[in-house]
Amino acid sequence: MATTSHVVLGAGPVGRAVISSLTARGITPTVVTRTGQAVPGAISLRADLGDPSAAAAATAGAEVLFQCAQPAYHRWPQEFRALQSRVVDAAAEAGALLVAAENVYGYGPVSGPLTEVLPLAATTRKGRVRAQMWRDLADAHQAGRLRVVAGRASDFFGPGVTASAVGDRFFGPLCRGERVDVVGDPDRLHTYTYVPDFGEALVRLSETPATWGHAWHVPNATTVTTREFATIAAGLAAAAPLRLRPVRAWQLRLVGSMVPAVREIAEMLYEFDEDHVVDHTAYTSVLGDHATPLEDAVAATVAEYTAPRRHDEHANRLLRRRA
């Protein structure tokens, strides 16, 4: 049974960002993971959310439930909707507000900035899953089964973010002065979400009943091209001259034949080969614009990658390769 009124499902970067925002408010949440992973500032609880009875037991007594758990990226079509269904059942049984961490895949390709009024018209495998998951949540809310609110982020980055277009494979080589492989056209605009801002937005939505029943684009810093984003990072890292190499669909499919998660990126290339600008005006009109300035957010991320332990890890990897 949950030991606190606020329960966070998942201890990935988003779950940890939510925990950080809660603890800043003097709230100690319970974090539920399959392994019982310890997270600073939270009470850890072990439970398999794939088991309906375990999910219900882990969330019993919760007042606010943050859904930040997800299956492996390449397993979204097979598992994500079923996982959310079990979370909805558990939240309804507990009488808790369900706060869902979402992304913008559900819209599909659009012309112009993305806003919340756009239809969920995605045709990709993962986009259709995301679109239907929101419809399921909206239907449950409108039927009075439970209270729901969602925050939608773009591709996110920040300390602790690894599996992202601007995660380990981006900041790692960039901070070492190596060539950086980037998805799509680096000279197209692309909105990136700083993960601490995502966590703060989810908590603010949980505190504001006027926002419930809807999905909101969380605040993001000024949108720049991926090349401009990388240039800022390289300058802060004092790295060698920036070298970017665009990765194309055929390369993703080739690598994806051995790495399923990479194969899944190919269908989302439209977000990187065209301008991808996420508008968060609706959110800020209600809850204010608390987006961290881009240079500050990138600086915090670079600091994580240039810390001494990161250099030690890189040296150890090189030694293992040579052994």
pLDDT in tens, the chain (323 residues): 666 799 999 999 999 999 999 999 999 999 999 999 999 999 999 999 989 999 999 999 999 999 999 999 999 999 999 999 999 999 999 999 999 999 999 999 999 999 999 999 999 999 999 999 999 999 999 999 999 999 999 999 999 999 999 999 999 999 999 999 999 999 999 999 999 999 999 999 999 999 999 999 999 999 999 999 999 999 999 977 899 999 887 788 877 778 787 788 889 999 999 999 999 999 999 999 999 999 999 999 999 999 864 544 444 444 444 34
Q: What's the token pair of residue 18?
A: 């939510």
3-state secondary structure of 74: helix
215 beta partners: 150
Cα dihedral sign for 237, 242, 246, 247? Answer: negative
What is the secondary structure of 228-278 as a DSSP string? HHHHHHHHHHT-SSP-EEEEPHHHHHHHHTT-HHHHTTGGGTHHHHS-B-B
98 beta partners: 65, 148
Question: Which residues have a Cβ under 8 Å from the Cβ of 143 and sit 6 or more positions away?
Answer: none
**159 and 301 Cβ atoms separated by less than 8 Å:** yes
Q: What's the token pair of residue 300?
A: 């915090």
Residues in the chain: 323
Closest to 128 measured CA to CA, from 83, 73, 69, 76: 76
pLDDT score recorded for residue 321:
41
Where residue 90 falls (left for φ over 0; alpha for ψ -120 to 50; beta otherwise) is alpha
pLDDT score recorded for residue 308:
63
What is the secondary structure of 25-41 as a DSSP string? TT---EEEESS----TT
The residue to which tokens 């009075």 are assigned? 144
153 beta partners: 103
3-state helix, strand, coil in the chain (%, to 5): 45, 15, 35
Q: What's the token pair of residue 89?
A: 């059942």
Distance CA 13, CA 33 (A): 13
What is the amino acid identity at position 322? Answer: R
pTM of the prediction? 0.93
pLDDT score recorded for residue 257:
76
Question: Which residues have a Cβ under 8 Å from the Cβ of 11 and sit 6 or more positions away?
Answer: 31, 33, 37, 39
**292 and 221 Cβ atoms separated by less than 8 Å:** yes
Q: What's the token pair of residue 172?
A: 């790692």
Q: What's the token pair of residue 161?
A: 């973010």
Eight-class DSSP state of 62: -
Q: What's the token pair of residue 151?
A: 């925050």
Q: What's the token pair of residue 221?
A: 């810093």
Alpha helix ranges (H) inside 66-124? 76-94
- Compute how many other C-beta atoms are within 10 angstroms of the C-beta atom of residue 307: 13
35, exposed or middle or buried, with CB in 10 Å at 0-12, 13-18, 19+? exposed
Closest to 219 measured CA to CA, from 243, 236, 202: 202
pLDDT score recorded for residue 169:
92
